[in-house]
Amino acid sequence: MTETTIPPKRPLEPHPRAIVVGASSGIGAALTKELVRQGYVVAALARREEKLNQLCETVNAAAAAGARALPFVHDVTDFEAIPALFQEIVQQLNGLDLIIYNAGVMPSVALDEFDFAKDKQQLEVNTLGAMAWLNQAAVRFQQTGSGHIVGISSVAGDRGRVGNPAYNTSKAALTTYLEALRNRLSRHGVQVTTIKPGFVDTVMLADAKTTFGVISP
């Protein structure tokens, strides 16, 4: 009688783990869907709870075994909450491989309007929120010697245009910050990627007739 040899079981490779900040719609939602499709476990963060939960339910219904999106309701301007939330997420994911900062706002601004409240909101969400989140990831990735940081900036930061000076400023600052992170972290084996989309058909640009001057001459 021939003896059957059963091959030893191989341990399951862990799913890659990601955080997407600003995940409930537009580019962030598309990235969350694609990452889960690729087998990631994704911590999806956004301010709008209902839209975030809908996204995660839709994504998880089509996900392969083990891959999934986990919703975390969060306002990126709550800077003091970020360190503890980052640690909580990393613990739940059992590590971290990738973080994408996509959160952003661009309120409609008239050509003769100078509204500091709108300016402040854009800098807090588009730039300071990114720094608060990505600094946390930078510390962890520098310690582990691996990881990938991605920031969604914009071509709007390449020049000072008349449409929305604060938005241009916030994205220019984000691009420079990411470049500095890249220069700091590359020697530690950490990747830093800056993505600068042009005009994208998203909810944020729904009133494109009044905001298109932000990204065109």
Kindly list the catalytic residues.
Answer: 167
CB contact set of 119 (below 8 Å; sequence gap of 6+): 165, 166
Q: Tell me the C-alpha distance between 194 and 118, whole Å.
A: 25
Question: Strands across the sheet with 191-195, in order?
Answer: 68-73, 41-46, 17-21, 98-101, 148-152, 191-195
CA distance 197 to 180: 20
Exposed/middle/buried for residue 94 (C-beta within 10 Å: 0-12, 13-18, 19+) = exposed
